[in-house]
């Protein structure tokens, strides 16, 4: 399977937002290993350069662009720069942020910032690639949602709304773009191993694991494998789908 995917993804260009660490980095590495040219995008260029060097050390092709998903102008500038490296065939909308708090006390600024980055930013990024994909009659758009976008979560009304919105956006775009052979899907990760989970107490970890049938936290590579599959030719008859990568946490 890996060899087939690599052959078929050669000469494709993938644009990955939030590519500097964790899930975004893993997605960029997986797509590069599958043969794609990768455009790495985030606000912190230093970290992006490290990921690019890692890809290039493995004989892959990677380029770096700075992007602020909360700024429409920044999004336009980043995609204009990226298109100098070739038409974008695969878009992974991964970048996101949290500003948690109970709804009663949540500041409008915190609501607006999270929605603007996680949802509006993904929509505006998608707009930047549609013309090229429609002309080519081929494209893959993959939105990174979250298990909480399906289940809800107290104290995260803004984040949950943004991730649930990504699922709605996925389904709507899938219907709009299917006639041009452009698939649009979402991946909804559950609890993934990050620097955030590493510092949790053993009691809290065990409590969280008690809700996960597979009895482990996911790895960024688990999410990246799902993204790589949805970006491949083998996933050409899948669109409008939400692929849960959560160990059975939410079914």
Residue 54 CA to residue 146 CA, distance in Å, equals 27
Q: Tell me, what DSSP letter sits at residue 178?
A: G
Bridge-based pairing state of the strands 62-66 and 37-42: parallel
Residue 65 CA to residue 84 CA, distance in Å, equals 11
Residue pair 88/15 in contact (Cβ under 8 Å)? The answer is yes
Residue 16: closest CA among 50, 51, 46: 51
Compute φ and ψ for 186, nearest 5 degrees: -125, 150
Crossing angle between the packed helical segments 157-177 and 108-115, to the nearest 10 degrees? 30
Strand partners, 41: 17, 65
Tokens of 38: 């990768």
Give the catalytic positions in this structure. 159
Tokens of 105: 């006390």
Q: What proportions of the chain, in percent to the nearest 5, are helix, strand and coil? A: 50, 15, 30
Continuous segment of H or E residues that includes residue 15: strand 13-17
């Amino acid at each position: 399977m890996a060899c087939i995917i690599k052959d078929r993804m050669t000469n494709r260009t993938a644009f990955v937002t939030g590519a500097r660490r964790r899930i975004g980095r893993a997605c960029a590495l997986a797509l590069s290993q599958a043969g794609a040219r990768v455009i790495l995008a985030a606000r912190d260029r230093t970290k992006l350069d490290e990921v690019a060097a890692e890809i290039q050390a493995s004989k892959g092709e990677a380029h770096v662009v700075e992007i602020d998903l909360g700024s429409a102008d920044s999004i336009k500038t980043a995609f204009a720069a990226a298109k100098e490296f070739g038409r974008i065939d695969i878009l992974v909308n991964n970048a996101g942020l949290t500003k948690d708090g109970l709804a009663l006390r949540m500041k409008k600024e915190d609501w607006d910032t999270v929605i603007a980055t996680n949802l509006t930013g993904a929509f505006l990024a998608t707009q930047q690639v549609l013309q090229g994909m429609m002309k080519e009659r081929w494209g893959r758009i993959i939105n990174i949602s979250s298990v909480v976008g399906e289940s809800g979560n107290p104290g995260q009304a803004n984040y949950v709304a943004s991730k649930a919105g990504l699922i709605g956006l996925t389904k709507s775009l899938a219907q709009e773009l299917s006639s041009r052979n452009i698939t649009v899907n979402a991946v909804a990760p559950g609890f993934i191993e990050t620097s955030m989970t590493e510092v949790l107490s053993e009691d809290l970890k065990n409590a969280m694991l008690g809700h996960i049938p597979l009895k482990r936290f996911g790895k960024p590579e688990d999410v990246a494998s799902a993204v790589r599959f949805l970006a491949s030719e083998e996933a050409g008859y899948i669109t409008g789908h939400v692929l849960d990568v959560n160990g059975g946490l939410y079914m």
